[in-house]
């Protein structure tokens, strides 16, 4: 549901102040300790951030895609790890349930997800299945009114805190592609489910990814999402929404970096004047601003189309491709504008440079986005 303009402005203003006054001062601490303080997570719960995309009838805010993207932009203005704390509840960890869950499943899980009492996680990627998401090997064998899951997943965001996993597993071993994969809601406390320690990562310290193993995990058949064999459909539709959300975060990060660059270039003096007066520095700022404006326009237009009920698989992929590649270029220029100061940790520029690299990989690599864009363009005839 789209918010009226006044309510939207109040929400965005509240989040903007929370990001500026509460989160930005903690960026270095979170990066150093690789952990977001519990009190900050509690404040996020109180703001309703864990339920942004969950319908109001289940305790969420029920935001439209456009409104959610505007929130995503604001959270892009601080370390992406903060957004990741509630990101799976808003996106891939809950939307399969929102889109494909039955009423019993929704009433059982969604209120706790919306409040943040339940952290969700989306378990798709495996050692041999990432971009090729139809190639999952984790097995779900039917045993009476249960399925028995065996296998492992890697690089699973928020796995070490998750109370509920959406797991993609192969229910038909004879069907080697997408039609053999189903989606399951698996409680984190299930016997036989284990989570490894957080991986050491290039960036986004404070946001954890882990290996998740399933050793004879019994899951009630009632916890299957949709029909058997429809897991790939669940994954793809969930990712459409997630790609727009991430596009918005990329735009927010780029806007933050441009603001930092302008402030630094106006103060830093070389050859007797601020470097902002040098045309080659201005060119980098101009390129960054132009690309950011283009990404913002594409993302918001696509969000509005999705809210209107249009199929935006192509546009969401194009938005994610352009925005994630764009923010990488903006971060690179920011390091260049800051010079030596951008390479050391004091200003946080090198941290953002590392943080944004993952945007070109998760929820579909840039190369996968290119394939989706080409496929959908060919379908449409141009």
What is the C-alpha separation between 309 and 369, in angstroms, rounded?
21
Residue 88: name the closest of 158, 155, 23, 154 by CA.
158
**How far lies 37's CA from each of 26, 85, 121, 137, in Å?**
9, 11, 20, 36
Element containing residue 307 per DSSP (H, E) = helix 279-307
Tokens read off for 193: 């489910």
Q: Are 196 and 210 in contact (CB under 8 A)?
A: yes
Judge whether 363 counts as a catalytic residue: yes
As a whole number of angstroms, the longest Cα–Cα distance in the chain is: 79
Residue 168: name the closest of 126, 204, 106, 116 by CA.
126
What is the C-alpha separation between 5 and 14, in angstroms, rounded?
14
Q: Are 121 and 86 in contact (CB under 8 A)?
A: no
Number of H helices, E strands in the chain: 13, 10
Q: DSSP string covering 230-291, please? A: -HHHHHHHHHHHHHHHHHHHHHHHHHHHHHHHHHHHHH-EETTEEGGGSHHHHHHHHHHHHH
Q: What would the 3-class secondary structure string for 101-153 be?
A: CCHHHHHHHHHHHHHCCCCEEEECCECCECCCHHHCCCEEEEECCEEEEEEEE
Q: Are 319 and 285 in contact (CB under 8 A)?
A: no
CA atoms within 13 A on the CB side of 143: 13
- Residue corresponding to tokens 């520029």: 349
Residue 210's SS3 state is strand
What is the C-alpha separation between 85 and 90, in angstroms, rounded?
10
Determine which one of 35, 126, 363, 376 is catalytic.
363
Q: Which residues pair with 269 in a beta bridge?
A: 274
Q: Return the active site residues.
A: 363
């Amino acid at each position: 549901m789209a918010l009226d303009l006044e309510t939207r402005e109040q929400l965005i203003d509240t989040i903007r102040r929370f990001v500026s006054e509460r989160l930005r001062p903690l960026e270095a601490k979170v990066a150093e300790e690789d952990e977001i303080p519990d009190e900050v997570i509690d404040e996020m719960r109180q703001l309703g951030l864990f339920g942004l995309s969950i319908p109001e009838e289940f305790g969420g805010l029920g935001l439209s895609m456009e409104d959610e993207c505007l929130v995503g932009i604001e959270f892009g203005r601080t370390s992406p790890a903060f957004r990741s704390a509630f990101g799976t509840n808003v996106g891939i960890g809950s939307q399969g349930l929102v889109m494909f869950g039955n009423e019993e499943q929704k009433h059982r899980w969604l209120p706790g997800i919306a409040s943040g009492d339940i952290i969700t996680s989306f378990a798709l990627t495996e050692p041999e299945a990432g971009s090729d998401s139809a190639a999952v090997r984790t097995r779900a064998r039917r045993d009476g009114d249960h399925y028995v899951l065996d296998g492992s997943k890697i690089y699973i965001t928020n796995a070490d805190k998750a109370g509920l996993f959406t797991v993609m597993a192969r229910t038909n071993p004879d069907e080697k592609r997408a039609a053999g994969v189903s989606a399951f809601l698996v409680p984190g406390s299930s016997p036989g489910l284990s989570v490894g320690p957080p991986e050491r990562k290039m960036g986004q310290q404070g946001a954890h990814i882990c290996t998740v193993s399933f050793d004879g995990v019994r899951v009630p058949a009632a916890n299957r999402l949709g029909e058997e064999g429809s897991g790939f459909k669940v994954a793809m539709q969930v990712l459409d929404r997630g790609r727009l959300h991430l596009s918005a975060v990329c735009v927010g990060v780029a806007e933050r970096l441009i603001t930092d660059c302008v402030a630094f270039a106006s103060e830093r003096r070389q050859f007797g004047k601020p470097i902002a007066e040098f045309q080659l520095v201005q060119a980098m700022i101009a390129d960054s601003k132009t690309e950011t404006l283009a990404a913002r326009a594409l993302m918001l237009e696509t969000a509005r189309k999705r809210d209107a009920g249009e199929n935006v698989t192509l546009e969401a992929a194009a938005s994610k491709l352009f925005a994630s590649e764009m923010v990488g270029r903006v971060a690179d220029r920011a390091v260049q504008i800051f010079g030596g100061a951008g390479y050391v940790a004091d200003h946080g520029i090198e941290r953002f440079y590392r943080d944004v690299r993952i945007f070109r990989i998760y929820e579909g690599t840039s190369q996968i986005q290119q394939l989706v864009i080409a496929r959908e363009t060919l379908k449409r005839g141009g």
